[in-house]
């Protein structure tokens, strides 16, 4: 399998999970600290960290350290626009 195909597979697999889709939904609204997701998606911090890592490695999110916190945001505006066109921003909150 070519490297480009592998990257696409990784990208779409990253979106193939309800928790990760909810994380993307919240990041469409605003960039957020990793610590904010625990109450938003009703998962423990370890699980959230794994999901954030998958999304980052797939090129969907980028992270930036802000003191002790890590802040995540959607990688680029085109990707953000695509997610909105797909209706990810309309997913109902989980909790």
The class level of CATH for 3-90 reads mainly alpha
Query: How sure is the predictor about 94, in pLDDT bands with cuts at 50, 70 and 90?
Result: low
Enumerate residues 6+ apart whose C-beta is below 8 A from 35.
45, 69
Domain boundaries, the chain: 3-90
What are the tens digits of pLDDT across the range 29-40?
Answer: 999 999 898 888
Residues 21-45: what's their mean pLDDT? Answer: 91
Roughly how many angstroms between the first and final C-alpha of the chain, as a whole number? 40
Is residue 95 scored above 70 in pLDDT? no
Say what the pTM is. 0.89
For the chain, give the longest Cα–Cα distance.
40
pLDDT above 90: percentage of residues in the chain: 64
Distance in angstroms (rounded) separating the CA atoms of residues 93 and 36 = 14
Rounded to 5 degrees, φ, ψ at 62 are -125, 150
What's the average model confidence in pLDDT over 52-73? 94
Note the helical H segments in the chain.
3-15, 18-29, 37-41, 45-57, 77-85
| Mean pLDDT on 47-61 | 95
């Amino acid at each position: 399998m070519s490297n480009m195909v592998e990257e696409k597979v990784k990208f779409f697999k990253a979106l193939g999970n309800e928790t990760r889709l909810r994380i993307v939904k919240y990041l469409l609204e605003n960039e957020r600290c990793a610590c904010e997701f625990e109450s938003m998606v009703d998962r423990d911090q370890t699980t959230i960290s794994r999901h954030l890592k998958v999304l980052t490695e797939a090129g969907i999110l980028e992270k930036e350290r802000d003191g002790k916190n890590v802040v995540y945001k959607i990688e680029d505006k085109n990707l953000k626009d695509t997610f909105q066109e797909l209706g990810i921003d309309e997913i109902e909150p989980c909790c």
